[in-house]
């Protein structure tokens, strides 16, 4: 990518970060306090590393700065990887700007301080490693393990992408051997994730773990739900918080975020399939499934807009992997993503906004939240004032 296009894309990313980052919520700040001091548990690696530097605990100012750094590092690593893949691709200037202003990236930045920003860094370093030999594969696996220790969502995101990368690099040695090589890091990370779930504290230990985390928060209240989220529960047990799909926020996510998100993923899947021309049906299918992998987390989690945002970023990363590993994709991309499509994608980035979990109300002026407000057009001002504010 030429220097002006690169700098313009990075500038767009920085502006998006300024607009979208929010003060981290209690959940995000509480995640930084998880540690192995209270027993081996999921999502505790980053907090344990922070504790080595800050053994007395965290004040809120420091926690907020760490949240900002984690989010910026993950977003910047994402941009650098994608822009490197766009190098020497025609229309890279416009394509880089589309990625830098993506509503999926805006959702990622809006969730300021969540652990995904931390595991993006080792995940993207793994994808950037050259070669497909034993040393390279071992390094990718090690980085994948670090990511899983940071957050178990690493498995369906970069765990899948690492497997896809190895699969593509071994294509020349036969699909069977390529599948076998790709399965090694994926199976290893599945085993590690399962072990983390098994070894994490049980629900009966919730009070002890919450007390330990609270002691490390020097001047701000923790969110006990963030601690309960890493516990292991037996049959009939569960965290103290319960979600209901009928609440306004989840009604919004289910009925408005999902259709728009899956519509975008459908278009991205078609593009990925066409960019993979010449790879063979199995490899093309693997690319499409890799892009959709983060959506599987919706089967066990309720934060649909956050997970849909990850799926959007994952689709972009699959396209970037194809551009780096499959030369015909570099020639096909400008033909498939025409100027008309660039304009349409830029318009989508302007008009589509999903609520971040560290949210303000600005997203309600965009699609799809704006659709919910259309009922007010049929009401007088007096009637509108009687409607209580929506709690998203």
Per the DSSP assignment, residues forming a β-bridge with 217 are 58
Rounded mean pLDDT of 58-76? 95
Rounded mean pLDDT of 66-80? 96
Q: Over 60: is that where the pLDDT of 381 sits?
A: no
Taking all residues of the chain, what is their mean pLDDT, rounded to a whole number?
88
The model's pLDDT over 298-353, given as tens digits with 9 standing for 90+, comes to 888 778 888 999 999 999 999 999 999 999 999 999 999 999 999 999 999 988 88
H-helix or E-strand containing 352? strand 352-353
Instruction: Name the residue with tokens 């830029």.
Output: 346
* 140, 126 contact by CB (below 8 A): yes
Rounded mean pLDDT of 46-69? 94
Q: Over 50: is that where the pLDDT of 254 sits?
A: yes
The model's pLDDT over 134-174, given as tens digits with 9 standing for 90+, comes to 899 999 999 999 999 999 999 999 999 999 999 999 988 88
Nearest alpha-carbon partner for 355 in 295, 305, 297, 302: 305
* 47, 240 contact by CB (below 8 A): no
The model's pLDDT over 180-235, given as tens digits with 9 standing for 90+, comes to 999 999 999 999 999 999 998 888 888 889 999 999 999 989 999 999 889 988 77
pLDDT of residue 368: 66
More confident residue, 364 or 60: 60
Nearest alpha-carbon partner for 227 in 242, 248, 211: 211
120 upstream amide cis, omega within 30 of 0? no
Q: What is the pTM of this model?
A: 0.90
pLDDT of residue 104: 93
pLDDT of residue 302: 76
pLDDT of residue 392: 41
Q: Tell me 386's DSSP state.
A: T
Which tokens belong to 133?
Answer: 């030999």
H-helix or E-strand containing 353? strand 352-353
Q: Provide the CB-side half-sphere exposure for 9 (13 A, CA).
A: 29
Nearest alpha-carbon partner for 163 in 296, 280, 290: 290
Q: Over 90: is that where the pLDDT of 271 sits?
A: yes
Which residues, including other chains, have CB under 8 Å from residue 86's CB and lie 6 or more apart?
Answer: 1, 92, 95, 96, 320, 323
Three-class DSSP category at 232: strand
Rounded mean pLDDT of 79-84? 96
Query: How distant, in Å, are the alpha carbons of 26, 171, 221, 279, 290 from that of 174?
Result: 50, 6, 55, 11, 20
Whole-number Å distance between alpha carbons of 368 and 354: 7
Q: At what angle do helices 327-336 and 258-275 cross, to 10 degrees?
A: 130
Q: Over 80: is that where the pLDDT of 6 sits?
A: yes
Q: How confident is the model at residue 68 (pLDDT cuts 50, 70, 90)?
A: very high
pLDDT of residue 50: 95
Q: How confident is the model at residue 379 (pLDDT cuts 50, 70, 90)?
A: low
H-helix or E-strand containing 123? helix 116-128
Whole-number Å distance between alpha carbons of 219 and 326: 52
More confident residue, 278 or 39: 278
Distance of CA 380 to the CA centre of its chain: 42
More confident residue, 10 or 5: 10
Rounded mean pLDDT of 347-373? 73
Whole-number Å distance between alpha carbons of 309 and 356: 10
């Amino acid at each position: 990518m030429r220097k002006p296009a690169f700098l313009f894309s990075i500038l767009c990313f920085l502006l998006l970060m300024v607009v979208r980052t929010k003060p981290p919520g209690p959940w995000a700040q509480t995640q930084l306090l998880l540690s192995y001091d209270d027993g081996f548990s999921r999502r505790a690696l980053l907090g344990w590393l922070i504790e080595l530097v800050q053994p007395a605990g965290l004040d809120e100012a420091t926690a907020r700065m760490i949240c900002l750094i984690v989010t910026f590092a993950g977003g910047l690593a994402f941009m650098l990887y994608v822009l490197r893949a766009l190098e020497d691709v025609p229309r890279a200037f416009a394509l880089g700007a589309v990625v830098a202003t993506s509503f999926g990236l805006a959702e990622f930045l809006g969730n300021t301080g969540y652990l995904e920003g931390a595991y993006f860094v080792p995940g993207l370093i793994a994808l950037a490693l050259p070669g497909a030999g034993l040393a390279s594969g071992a390094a990718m696996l090690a980085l994948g393990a670090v990511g899983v220790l940071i957050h178990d969502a690493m498995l369906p995101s970069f765990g899948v992408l690492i497997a896809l990368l190895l699969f593509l690099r071994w294509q020349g040695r036969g699909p069977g051997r390529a599948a076998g090589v790709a399965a090694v890091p994926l199976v290893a990370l599945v085993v590690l994730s399962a072990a983390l779930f098994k070894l994490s504290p049980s629900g009966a230990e919730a009070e002890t773990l919450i007390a330990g985390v609270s002691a490390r928060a020097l001047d701000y209240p923790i969110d006990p739900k963030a601690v309960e989220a890493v516990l292991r529960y037996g049959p009939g047990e569960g965290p103290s918080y319960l979600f209901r799909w009928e609440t306004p926020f989840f009604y919004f996510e289910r009925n408005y975020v999902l259709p728009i998100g899956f519509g975008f993923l459908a278009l991205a899947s078609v593009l990925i399939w066409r960019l993979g021309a010449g790879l063979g049906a199995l490899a093309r299918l693997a690319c499409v499934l890799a892009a959709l992998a983060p959506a599987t987390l919706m089967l066990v989690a309720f934060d649909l807009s956050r997970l849909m945002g990850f799926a959007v970023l994952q689709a972009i990363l699959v396209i970037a992997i194809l551009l780096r590993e499959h030369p015909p994709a570099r020639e096909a991309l400008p033909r498939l993503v025409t100027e008309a499509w660039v304009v349409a994608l830029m318009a989508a980035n302007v008009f589509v906004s999903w609520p971040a979990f560290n949210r303000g109300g600005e997203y309600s002026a965009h699609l799809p939240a704006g659709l919910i407000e259309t009922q007010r057009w049929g009401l007088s001002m007096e009637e509108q004032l009687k409607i209580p504010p929506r709690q998203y």
